[in-house]
Chains A and B, each alone.
Chain A
Amino acid sequence: MAIELKPLEQFTIERLVPLHIGKLDVSYTNSALLMTIAVVLITALVMLGTRKRALVPGRWQSVTEMLYEFVADMVDTNAGQGAEAFLPFIFTLFMFVLFANLLGLIPYSFTVTSHIIVTFALAAVVFIGVTIIGIVKHGWHFLRLFVPENVPLVLLVLLVPIELLSYFIRPFTLSIRLFANMLAGHTMLAIFGGFAASVGIFAILPLGINIALVGLELLVAVLQAYVFAILSCLYLRDALHLH
């Protein structure tokens, strides 16, 4: 009676268009398809939303303006002065993670952000980019980021390694946070779905839990996109203003 649970099956990558260049496998996978859909949807939303440029915005223009103002406000309050130049980057990052998370919630689709290589690539871009910005802007003074001010010399011996570690661990925490949330959430949905399929008449209970979990996952999808963007803003502030 028990159906064998395979909750991790939903994360399998399938080659939709097999393509090999030499030994390199550059097949067009379901992961790439979902990323393409996300990018097309974001582009369509923003382009069509701002096409009319009406003084009194219509529905789509309102949505676009709300998203833009939300991210602009976030960058303004968290990344400090001089960060307006990086608003397009943060906006792109936020929208991509948000759409990838939300598209993953559609049944039988694929969650791009549940693969650590995707989130790690995003986090690595943020980390390397922010470090380069800091070095270009401050030169050698950038290293002062690792030395807290007004601290006795004895404590510095302890604090500098901690600061260094907490700096270099950033891309890992940033990527694992998003990846673990998506992985755990979608696995949990699949497990409760499997329960519902295997207990017959009592399926109403796990099904009810599953519906509540979809609501929670919706919240988590938006929240994790927000967290990813806001932490990128905070890292940017560190690089721009050093403390």
Chain B
Amino acid sequence: MDLASAKMIGAGLACIALVGAGVGIGNVFSALISSVARNPASQAQVQPFAFLGFALAEATGLFGLAIAFLILFVF
């Protein structure tokens, strides 16, 4: 296998990390919706935490995406 195709496969594999980010973000917001649906008064308290969780979950997936970009465009 030559280097160019190995790079493509590697970048594709690195993008699998985004599955985790998708699951995580979905989880965060589903929990937000169900908790606000149960207790609408709590929205102001739980929303900042939801967005904190969203940012943290998204960042983990982006590590993989950054690696994919580095493989494709740097090496």
Rounded to whole Å, the gap between the CB of A90 and the closest CB of chain B is 15
Tell me if A223 counts as interface (CB < 8 A to partner B).
yes
Interface string of A178-189 (1 = CB under 8 A from B): 011101110110
Chain B positions within 8 Å of A, measured between CB atoms, are 51-52, 54-56, 58-59, 62-63, 65-66, 69, 73-74
Report if A181-B62 is in contact (Cβ < 8 Å); known contacts: A223-B51, A223-B55, A224-B55.
yes
Report if A187-B55 is in contact (Cβ < 8 Å); known contacts: A180-B63, A181-B62.
no
Chief secondary structure at chain A's binding surface: helix
20 A-B residue pairings within 8 Å (CB atoms):
A5-B73, A7-B69, A7-B73, A8-B74, A177-B56, A180-B62, A180-B65, A181-B58, A181-B59, A181-B62, A183-B66, A183-B69, A184-B69, A188-B65, A220-B58, A223-B51, A224-B59, A226-B51, A227-B59, A230-B52
Residues B69 and A187 in contact, CB atoms below 8 Å apart: yes
Residues A184 and B55 in contact, CB atoms below 8 Å apart: no
Contacts of A183 in B (CB 8 A): 66, 69
Contacts of B69 in A (CB 8 A): 7-8, 183-184, 187
| A223-B55, A227-B52, A227-B56 given; 17 more Cβ-contact pairs under 8 Å | A5-B73, A6-B73, A7-B73, A8-B74, A176-B63, A180-B59, A180-B62, A180-B66, A184-B65, A187-B66, A187-B69, A220-B55, A220-B58, A224-B55, A226-B51, A226-B55, A227-B59
Contacts of B59 in A (CB 8 A): 177, 180-181, 224, 227
Chain A positions within 8 Å of B, measured between CB atoms, are 5-8, 176-177, 179-181, 183-185, 187-188, 220, 223-224, 226-227, 230
Contacts of B63 in A (CB 8 A): 176, 180
Docked complex Cα distance between A220 and B66 (Å) = 15
Rounded to whole Å, the gap between the CB of B18 and the closest CB of chain A is 10
Contacts of B56 in A (CB 8 A): 177, 227
